[in-house]
């Protein structure tokens, strides 16, 4: 296996890891009520921790929405769809990382925007700071494989340019 083939293999593995993370993140946007129920059971209200207080508050709110305004969950269904659409777009980077290098740039920009978005809108919506930091971590964890992929694609492109000049 040549150096370029080995680098392409690493890029594809990290791209697949990114796609998997985006899909899983999208899937978790759909069953909110059952997920928060599990969180509330993991951190029972009797513990008095900030996590248990938050989980109880969110659980009670979701139950109220579910019983009175279930159509509001349609918004999280569309959130999931957005994740799936992004994951599908990255199949282009999986198939031909060099030709579709722009997807790594797009992904890095989107990951960077997660941080101010979570901080700003989390503050507006009254989300605790510690939860906003968890949301910000998705941008950081998503950016890591994309940054490596972008760097490796640039290396391949540099090698290709040098090879054609010889």
The residues spanned by each domain of the chain are: 3-165
What's the whole-model pTM score?
A: 0.89
State both tokens at 70.
């279930």
What is the distance between the alpha carbons of residues 121 and 93, in angstroms, rounded to a whole number? 30
State both tokens at 101.
């290098």
What is the distance between the alpha carbons of residues 98 and 92, in angstroms, rounded to a whole number? 10
Query: What is the mean pLDDT for each group of 10 consecutive residues in the chain (166 residues)?
Result: 95 98 96 91 82 92 95 95 98 98 98 98 97 96 98 90 60
């Amino acid at each position: 296996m040549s150096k370029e083939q080995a680098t392409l293999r690493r890029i594809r593995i990290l791209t697949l890891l990114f796609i998997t993370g985006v899909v899983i993140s999208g899937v978790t946007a759909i069953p909110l009520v059952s997920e928060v129920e599990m969180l509330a059971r993991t951190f029972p209200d009797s513990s008095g921790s900030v996590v248990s207080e938050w989980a109880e508050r969110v659980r009670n709110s979701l139950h109220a929405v579910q019983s009175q305004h279930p159509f509001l969950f349609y918004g999280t269904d569309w959130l999931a769809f957005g994740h799936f659409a992004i994951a599908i777009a990255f199949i282009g980077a999986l198939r031909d990382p060099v030709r579709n290098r722009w997807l790594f740039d797009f992904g890095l920009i989107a990951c960077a925007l997660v941080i101010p978005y979570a901080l700003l809108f989390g503050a507006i919506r009254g989300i605790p700071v510690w939860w906003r930091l968890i949301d910000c971590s998705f941008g950081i964890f998503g950016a890591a494989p994309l940054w490596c992929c972008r760097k490796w694609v640039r290396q391949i492109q540099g090698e290709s340019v040098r090879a054609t000049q010889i």
